[in-house]
């Protein structure tokens, strides 16, 4: 029991006891919900935190865009530089290839000249060998040269001294090739190589020397080589 206050004692000697109101009964099975109202300073802090988070996200997004743009620019510059470097390397490779082709052509050309020289030398040796072994080679050459003569007035056949006696044996036979010839003679000439001859007429002469034939063969080969280069 608590203390009895003075105002609670009435004049008749009765004591008035006040009863405190009982709290309202709560519904069974329903929890009491407490609503807390935040203070103004707490609301300011929360708002500042939200704003800070938003600004941070925007900064991250902007930074990502800048990095991506820088990466794309770097790729573009790298691609341009790569193309320029590739073009330079291709140019250098073509230069080396063209130099190699030019050098190859020079080597082939020099080789062709040497091959031609050796071929002519071999042909000369073969012809001279045939002439020395077979006297009829000279006779055939003289006969061929006489057939090319058109003037029948005077015909002189000049041959090497080694061939002179052999050709004179067939003088009549050779003259018979020139039907109606008025003068036909065979003379020695030391300037003419064995196996060849020079046939002279009033209108000109036919050069059937071995050296002349070889010269004609060489010129023919050179013409063919020049035509192939063009």
Q: Are 160 and 122 in contact (CB under 8 A)?
A: no
58 with 118, same domain? yes
Q: Tens of pLDDT along 70-85? A: 777 777 776 777 777 7
- State the CATH number of the domain containing residue 150: 3.30.2320.30
Q: To 5 degrees, how large is the angle CA 39–CA 44–CA 45?
A: 100
114 with 184, same domain? no
The count of structural domains within the chain is: 2
146 with 225, same domain? yes
66 has pLDDT over 90: no
Give the pLDDT score at 188. Answer: 95
Handedness of CA 147, 177, 180, 183 (dihedral sign): positive
185 with 122, same domain? no
Which structure tokens are listed for 144? 């061929």
Give the pLDDT score at 220. Answer: 83
124 with 139, same domain? no
pTM, to two decimals: 0.49
Domain boundary among 90, 118, 133: 133
Q: Are 166 and 135 in contact (CB under 8 A)?
A: yes
Domain boundary among 133, 160, 184: 133
53 with 129, same domain? yes
Number of H helices, E strands in the chain: 5, 4
151 with 225, same domain? yes
Which structure tokens are listed for 42? 């707490």
Q: Are 186 and 168 in contact (CB under 8 A)?
A: yes
211 with 143, same domain? yes
Q: Tens of pLDDT along 99-143? A: 888 887 777 777 777 777 787 788 878 887 887 778 788 899 999
Report which of residues 145 and 14 the model is more confident about.
145
DSSP string, 51-81: HHHHHHHHHHHHHHHHHHHHHHHHHHHHHHH
Give the pLDDT score at 39. Answer: 56
Query: Would 113 be classed as within a structural domain?
Result: yes
- How far is CA 105 from each of CA 98, 116, 144, 219, 223, rounded to the nearest angstrom? 10, 16, 40, 21, 17
Span between the terminal Cα atoms of the chain, in Å:
140
Domain span holding position 53: 46-133
Q: What is the largest CA-CA distance in the chain?
A: 206
Query: For residue 228, what pLDDT band results from cuts at 50, 70 and 90?
Result: low
68 with 100, same domain? yes
Query: Would 218 be classed as within a structural domain?
Result: yes
12 has pLDDT over 50: no
Domain boundary among 117, 133, 149: 133
82 with 128, same domain? yes
Query: Would 28 be classed as within a structural domain?
Result: no
């Amino acid at each position: 029991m608590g203390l009895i206050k003075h105002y609670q004692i009435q004049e008749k000697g009765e004591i008035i006891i006040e009863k405190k109101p009982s709290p309202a009964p709560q519904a069974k099975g329903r929890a009491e919900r407490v609503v807390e109202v935040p203070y103004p300073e707490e609301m300011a802090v929360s708002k500042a935190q939200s704003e800070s988070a938003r600004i941070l996200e925007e900064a991250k997004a902007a930074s990502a865009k800048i990095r991506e743009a820088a990466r794309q620019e770097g790729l573009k510059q790298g691609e341009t530089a790569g193309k320029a470097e590739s073009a330079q390397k291709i140019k250098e490779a073509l230069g080396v290839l063209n130099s190699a082709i030019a050098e190859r052509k020079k080597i082939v050309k020099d080789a062709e000249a040497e091959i031609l020289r050796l071929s002519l030398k071999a042909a000369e040796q073969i012809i001279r060998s045939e002439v020395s072994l077979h006297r009829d080679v000279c006779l055939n050459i003289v006969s061929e040269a006489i057939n090319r003569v058109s003037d029948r007035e005077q015909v002189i056949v000049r041959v090497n001294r080694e061939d002179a006696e052999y050709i004179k044996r067939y003088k009549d036979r050779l003259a018979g090739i020139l039907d109606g010839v008025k003068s036909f003679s065979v003379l020695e000439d030391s300037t003419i190589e064995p196996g060849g001859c020079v046939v002279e007429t009033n209108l000109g002469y036919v050069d059937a020397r071995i050296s002349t034939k070889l010269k004609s063969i060489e010129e023919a080969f050179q013409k063919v080589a020049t035509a192939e280069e063009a």
